[in-house]
Amino acid sequence: MRPIALFQAVGLFLGLTNAAPSADVSVASRDLFKRAPTCNTPSNRACWSNGFDINTDYESSIPNTGNTRRYILDVTQTENWVGGDGQVKKLAMLFNGTFPGPTIRADWGDWIEVTVRNKLSCDGTSVHWHGIRMQRNSVNDGANGVTECPIAPGTSRTYRFRAEQYGTGWYHSHYSSQDGQGLDSSPGAAPAADNVLFNGTHVSSAGTGDYARVKLKVGKRHRLRLINPSVDISYTVSLVNHDMTVIATDFVPVNAFTAPSVLLTPGQRLDVTIDASKTPGNYWFNVTFSSSPCGSSRFAKPAAIFQYDSVAAGIPTIQGSAPTDTLCQDNNNFSPVVRRTVPSSAFKVNETNTIGVELVQKAWQNVPNRVYWNVHGHDMNVTWENPTLEYVANKDLTFPERYNIHTVDKKNGDWAFWLIENTSVLPHPMHLHGHDFYVLGHSTPPRTPSPPR
């Protein structure tokens, strides 16, 4: 575990750091990142700095570095942009003109200030810092229509938040989820992706583009920061002939366990290590899809190449076998290093604390069969110029129905409990802005889910 919090932009799927300081720094200058003194060494990744280590409860104790890391992100649009797989996209919206966008780095405990300048021609935008705890800071969460009005074209705003946890995060425009690409597809299957990019690149079925290539140092253990930034496909990743050791999920260090492959759902991050101790060569890093309808790609076998640094670049010869995952089911056995006691015996399931997630079809404007995700009985449709937080600031609790407000039951003190029930045919990963949550129990996905209503 390195004493670093790292956020990467939409589109970044895989980041790699060696045990030594990473050579791959995509910010403008290395000088931007003067690291705080640390006791973290190759032989002791649990140590952080004086008094802080992997067992520190980050909810009550955070290093006081006194540092603020400042970044500028320009949101721009380019027509007929050529992607990393050599394919032309009609319109690309990018951070600082790159895909994936620049990496934001900070030490645990630093403040981070990011100025977002909207240089789009006519769309509003906002940037969401996915996974960051926003205690007493929801105004910086970046969800337009909920915590802020969008940043208008030609204007900017500066977000300020603290790296209260460490690990791997990502940031993304919260505009994209409003025109979510899955909205006009037929229910029953997520639409197939054109391709899957690794660190922004891949080959295409038209023969353009290049495989992403990741160099491994012979004999070294490497940390991979895996991020699934896709709109609605889940997939499994595996490295042929190598196991992965999972060390953190989202921003939470977990008791390490080893697995031949890991599933990544949209928005999910997993930090894993791999040991470059096999026969030196070129190996496929494969993305595979479950047989249940949770994702597919028009490019049949997406993969990147991991190359030991003692051999020449080449195309791997061993295909590897696809991991079996018939239900597209996430690992449920993560156990956090910092344990907490959750007073769950007080929890009684009832109508108000059961949150149904379902797929529905209904007409909207001239489209007869729009597909909607209903959460707790409603889809969500907010008004940008009256974000939810503005109602709260004005102590006005008459939220329109389609703001889809869920009232948190304060009976259990600081804890709130929900039963989440997905009755659709598709998986629906859940993500809570600004908070951590604990999975207390789960059922196995049904083999034949009920059809969408």
What's 388's DSSP letter? Answer: H
> Which stretch, 123-131, 313-321, 323-331, 370-378, contacts Cu ion (CB under 5 A)?
123-131
> Which stretch, 129-137, 173-181, 197-205, 310-318, contacts Cu ion (CB under 5 A)?
129-137
C-alpha angle 370-371-373 in degrees, rounded to nearest 5: 140
Nearest to Cu ion of 26, 138 (CB atom): 138
Q: How far is the CB of 433 from Cu ion (least distance, A)?
A: 5
Q: Contact 422/375 with Cβ under 8 angstroms?
A: no
Residues 6+ apart with CB under 8 A from 360: 371, 372, 374, 379, 452, 453
> Which stretch, 17-25, 58-66, 429-437, 442-450, contacts Cu ion (CB under 5 A)?
429-437
Tokens of 446: 């049904």
Residue nearest to Cu ion (CB): 130
Residues 6+ apart with CB under 8 A from 438: 340, 342
Q: φ and ψ at 118, to 5 degrees?
A: -85, 105
Q: How far is the CB of 130 from Cu ion (least distance, A)?
A: 4
Displacement of CA 137 from its chain's centroid (Å): 20
Q: Residue 292 corresponds to which amino acid? A: S
Nearest to Cu ion of 69, 130 (CB atom): 130
Q: How far is the CB of 45 from Cu ion (least distance, A)?
A: 27
Q: How far is the CB of 431 from Cu ion (least distance, A)?
A: 5
Number of residues that bind Cu ion (CB under 5 A): 2
> Which stretch, 53-61, 237-245, 324-332, 433-441, contacts Cu ion (CB under 5 A)?
433-441
- Can you tell me the distance from the alpha carbon of 102 to that of 453, in angstroms, rounded to the nearest whole number? 42
Q: How far is the CB of 53 from Cu ion (least distance, A)?
A: 28
Q: Which of residues 162-221 bind Cu ion (CB under 5 A)?
A: none
Nearest to Cu ion of 130, 162 (CB atom): 130
For position 269 contacting Cu ion by CB under 5 A, the verdict is no
Q: Which of 221, 17, 9, 222 is nearest to 100 (CA)?
A: 9
For position 130 contacting Cu ion by CB under 5 A, the verdict is yes
> Which stretch, 124-132, 183-191, 236-244, 339-347, contacts Cu ion (CB under 5 A)?
124-132
Q: Residue 233 corresponds to which amino acid? A: I
DSSP-based three-state secondary structure for 41:
strand
**Contacts with Cu ion, residue ranges (CB under 5 A):** 130, 433
